[in-house]
Amino acid sequence: PGKKVLIVYAHQEPKSFNGSLLKTAVEELTKQGCSVTVSDLYAMQFEPRATRNDIVGETSQNTPFSKTSDLQSPPYKRGGLSKDLVEEQKKVQEADLLIFQFPLFWFSMPAILKGWMDRVLVQGFAYDLTKAYDGGLLQDKLSLFSFTTGGSQEMYSNEGISGDIRYVLWPMQHGIMHFCGVKVLEPHICYAPEHASEEKRKEMLTAWTQRLKTLWKEESIDCSPEWYFK
């Protein structure tokens, strides 16, 4: 009770299976007494591109645009980021747990969600050059990637054509969350719901509900290369 959760949701269709997973999470976590905030990126028409519009006030217009200099550290530290980014950063700051709910696109997250990562988790807010990984600026937060796949679980195995699903998780969990100091819980993966029976999809939703009931007792994964590539 009293925990704060931010769910960053990236799917265009509320009636999708991802939409059902989102609804399940909101209902179960709210029932537990958690305060749940949802950033529905498509509904918000969130801008995924990092541009000069992200910077407000005076900028160094005479120098070439640079994501790591003009866009990131100085504007954040002087309060010079656009309103939409400030709002998302506030949600992140207040959250004990970040849940990312999305369909897997091309071995990665949808572009709109990657854009959220690019624009919100900026230098000075989520990390600094000397403060990354275990020293990242977003310590004491948990994260969980909950996503659906088009392929079967067998396809995403060591013996499968797509390789171990953990290879896919390396840039998302390790390269973003762990880099920012966020602890990472085991991912929640629903394999090929589009090709599953109605009964199987209901079982997937029930399994998600059951996991959420004991989520706060879970230990974070060992964020090391061995977890991904052993």
* Cα(108)–Cα(38) distance, integer angstroms: 21
Check if the beta carbon of residue 120 is closer than 8 Å to that of residue 183.
Answer: no
Q: Mean pLDDT of all residues in the chain?
A: 92
Please, which residues have CB within 8 angstroms of residue 215's CB and are 6 or more apart in sequence? 97, 144, 185
Segment 146-176, tens digit of pLDDT: 999 999 989 999 899 999 999 999 999 999 9
Is the predicted pLDDT of residue 134 greater than 80, yes or no? Answer: yes
Q: How far apart are CA 60 and CA 63, in angstroms?
A: 6
Per-residue pLDDT, 67: 54
Judged against a pLDDT cut of 70, whether residue 58 lies above it is answered with: no
Domains of the chain: residue spans and CATH: 4-50+83-229 (3.40.50.360)
> Which of 78-82, 184-188, 199-203 shows the lowest per-residue confidence on average (mean pLDDT)?
78-82
Residues above pLDDT 70, as percent of the chain: 93
What's the pLDDT at 230? 80
Q: How many other C-beta atoms are found inside a 10 Å radius of the C-beta of residue 65?
A: 14
pLDDT of residue 215: 96
**66 pLDDT exceeds 90?**
no
**Distance separating alpha carbons of residues 201 and 190, to the nearest angstrom:** 9
Nearest in space to 7 (alpha carbons), one of 46, 39, 30: 39
Query: What pLDDT score does 63 carry?
Result: 52
